[in-house]
Amino acid sequence: MKIKTKLFLGIGLLFAMLLVLGLTSGLFIQRLSADTKNILADNYNSVEFARKMLQAFNNDSLETEEIKVFEENLARQEKNITETGEQDLTEKLVSDYAVLKKNPGDVNQMRVIRTDVSNIMLLNMQAIQIKEKFAEQTASNAIFWISIAGTVCFIIALTLLFNLPGNIANPIRELTASIKQIADRNYSQRLHFKGTDEFSDLASSFNTMAEKLEEYQQSNIEKLMMEKKRIEALINNMKDPVIGLDQEGKVLFMNEMAFKISGLSAEKVIGRPLQTIAIENDLIRSLAKDIFAEPGAPATPKTPLKIYADGRESYFEEQIIPIRIVPTGESEERAIGTVLVLQNITTYKELDFAKTNFIATISHELKTPISSIKMGLQLLENRQVGPLNEEQQNLVNSIGEDAGRLLKITGELLNMTQVETGSIQLTVSPASVKEIVDYALHANQSAAESRQIKLDVKLPEQDTRVLADKDKTAWVLNNLVSNAIRYSHEHDTVSIEVAQQGDQIQFSVRDTGYGIAPEYQDRIFDRYFRVPGIKREGTGLGLSISKEFIEAQGGRIMLRSEIGVGSVFSFSLKRA
């Protein structure tokens, strides 16, 4: 049944019953009032007329006034005949009164008239008693029917009260819950309302909608599956190993290459946390270390991973790409996982090896002839060989400078190849700080003089010793002093200071030269980096080699610089 019909019937029935109740009550009230009116009009008046007539006949003689009262009431009584037999009694009274009127002093006739009046009074009083019984009957009938109508109304109202709200609210509640399910993408949700009311129409519309959504989702899933397969095929065909993780670090996918180099299989990894796999697999362990490094922890310098795969040594550079998206309907970006790409750099690495070997060979081969040239020049400058004229002396000087420069470059290149191949040979032992500083001073003496730069030295009082590779440390200090001289203005002062700081010895070289702009300070220790626009000759290798030499000895190298003010390069090593 339709809700509208249910409401119509329920409320309509209640209304009808209230109407019945009202009508019944009205009817009975009217009946009771009619009964009362009857008693009053029909009988009470007759009793009253009779009483007044009897009063007028109280005395045995009739006075004019009393006659008038009697006749008036008699006339009224004649018009108020309501009971059976009352007509006869009244007519008898009228005729008896007519006889009395002829003979007013007849006491017997008076007595007869009194009896007549009493009879009329009695008849009416009996009628009152009968009608009272009728009225009582009507009143109890009224109570009976009103109670029945009231009870029926109460039952209907109670039934409506208990059933109607539930009938309307329950399906609405069920519908709300189902809509929520649909909103949560549970498109298999259906409504099952029985009957033929509006809610079952609503349920069937809802079910159609859910069915269509399910169908739409299915078709979308097929499309998505197709796209997924396409992307999987692309990733699988990539030469670089790729590993995808969800936000909890569980493996979502791994391409063929990743399986090949790790020696793992899909069953062992998909859906498992990377950290669990790391326990059994060396490669995954080293990758997991970088992915799950504590945020804010110092980043370890990334060295290429050397992996033996496909019958040869391969080199991979690790790239960790955090994946962040803004979910539909949201405004905040959310991390949904990480993609790890191992870029195969074997070819570059092989080329780099070839280049390093080539540089090492060339530098090594050049060093000997350059040294011979320098020796030859020293011989030429010797007075015993013979005096040189001014022109010859100038030529010898410039050949000497060029040879020195060449020797410096070949030296730097050789050191660089040592650094690149990871074959720095260190001989760490207690070394005199003074000797190291003296070496740097001596090596830079003539360069400083030619630019009229004053070298200022400040050493600890007693001969302090440092735990270091003397040659490499002297080479670093020499390089810093040489830079300070080259990148200063003429007539400037370069200060070399060695100070003890706890168990460390700090070497500082301060200049008042060009300074280095903040944006270049991070890259100043990078290989081949040179501040753009600098006109001085150089290779951009000195500082990077210095850093490698100092760090290889467990020390630290630092820079403080301000453009136009000057720079302070310092390094610290353990005290002996």
Which residue among 109, 118, 281, 539 contacts ligand ADP (CB under 6 A)?
539
Residue with Cβ nearer ligand ADP (90 or 570): 570
- Long-range contacts at 78-86 (CB < 8 A, ≥ 24 apart): 80/41, 80/42, 80/45, 80/46, 80/49, 82/41, 82/42, 82/43, 82/46, 82/127, 83/42, 83/43, 83/123, 83/124, 83/127, 85/123, 86/46, 86/120, 86/123, 86/124
Residue with Cβ nearer ligand ADP (514 or 549): 514
Q: Does 483 bind ligand ADP (CB under 6 A)?
A: yes
Structure tokens at 335: 């991390």
Residue 214 in contact with residue 187, Cβ under 8 Å?
Answer: yes
> Which whole-number Å values give the CA distances from 200 to 175, 191, 192, 196, 534, in the listed order?
11, 9, 8, 6, 86
Q: Does 484 bind ligand ADP (CB under 6 A)?
A: yes
Q: Considering the complex, what minimum distance in angstroms separates the CB of residue 455 from ligand ADP?
A: 14
The footprint of ligand ADP on residues 149-188 (CB under 6 A) is none
Q: Does 277 bind ligand ADP (CB under 6 A)?
A: no
Q: Does 42 bind ligand ADP (CB under 6 A)?
A: no
Residue 176 in contact with residue 186, Cβ under 8 Å?
Answer: no
In the bound state, the residue with its beta carbon closest to ligand ADP is: 538
Q: Where are the beta strands (DSSP E) in 152-275?
A: 242-246, 251-254
The footprint of ligand ADP on residues 503-532 (CB under 6 A) is 511, 513-514, 516, 524, 529-531
Residue 566 in contact with residue 512, Cβ under 8 Å?
Answer: yes
Q: Considering the complex, what minimum distance in angstroms separates the CB of residue 355 from ligand ADP?
A: 19
Q: Does 543 bind ligand ADP (CB under 6 A)?
A: yes
Which residue among 31, 345, 540, 574 contacts ligand ADP (CB under 6 A)?
540
Residue with Cβ nearer ligand ADP (419 or 524): 524
CA distance 290 to 305: 12
- The DSSP call for residue 44 is I
Which residue among 138, 567, 570, 572 contacts ligand ADP (CB under 6 A)?
567
Q: Considering the complex, what minimum distance in angstroms separates the CB of residue 452 from ligand ADP?
A: 17
Q: How many residues bind ligand ADP (CB under 6 A)?
A: 21
Sequence letter at residue 226: M
Q: Which residue is associated with the tokens 């009046």?
A: 117
Q: Does 304 bind ligand ADP (CB under 6 A)?
A: no
Residue with Cβ nearer ligand ADP (325 or 534): 534
Residue with Cβ nearer ligand ADP (174 or 551): 551
Residue with Cβ nearer ligand ADP (198 or 471): 471
Which residue among 359, 538, 574, 576 contacts ligand ADP (CB under 6 A)?
538
Q: Does 558 bind ligand ADP (CB under 6 A)?
A: no
Burial bucket for residue 499 (CB in 10 Å: 0-12, 13-18, 19+): middle
Burial bucket for residue 309 (CB in 10 Å: 0-12, 13-18, 19+): middle
Q: Interacting stretch for ligand ADP, rule CB under 6 A, among 34-42, 60-68, 145-153, 534-542?
A: 534-542
Any residues with CB less than 8 A from the CB of 413 and at least 6 apart, and which?
359, 360, 362, 363, 539, 541
Residue with Cβ nearer ligand ADP (304 or 404): 404
Helix, strand or coil, per DSSP, at residue 425? coil
Residue 542 in contact with residue 531, Cβ under 8 Å?
Answer: no
Which residue among 487, 507, 549, 571 contacts ligand ADP (CB under 6 A)?
487
The footprint of ligand ADP on residues 74-133 (CB under 6 A) is none
Helices 390-420/542-552 angle, 10° precision: 50
Q: Considering the complex, what minimum distance in angstroms separates the CB of residue 562 from ligand ADP?
A: 11
Residue 424 in contact with residue 552, Cβ under 8 Å?
Answer: yes
CA distance 261 to 307: 7
Q: Does 534 bind ligand ADP (CB under 6 A)?
A: yes
Q: Considering the complex, what minimum distance in angstroms separates the CB of residue 516 from ligand ADP?
A: 5
Residue 359 in contact with residue 416, Cβ under 8 Å?
Answer: yes
Q: Considering the complex, what minimum distance in angstroms separates the CB of residue 558 from ligand ADP?
A: 13
Residue with Cβ nearer ligand ADP (195 or 540): 540
Q: Does 50 bind ligand ADP (CB under 6 A)?
A: no
CA distance 191 to 207: 6
Instruction: Name the site residues for ligand ADP (rule: CB under 6 A).
Output: 479, 483-484, 487, 511, 513-514, 516, 524, 529-531, 534, 538-544, 567
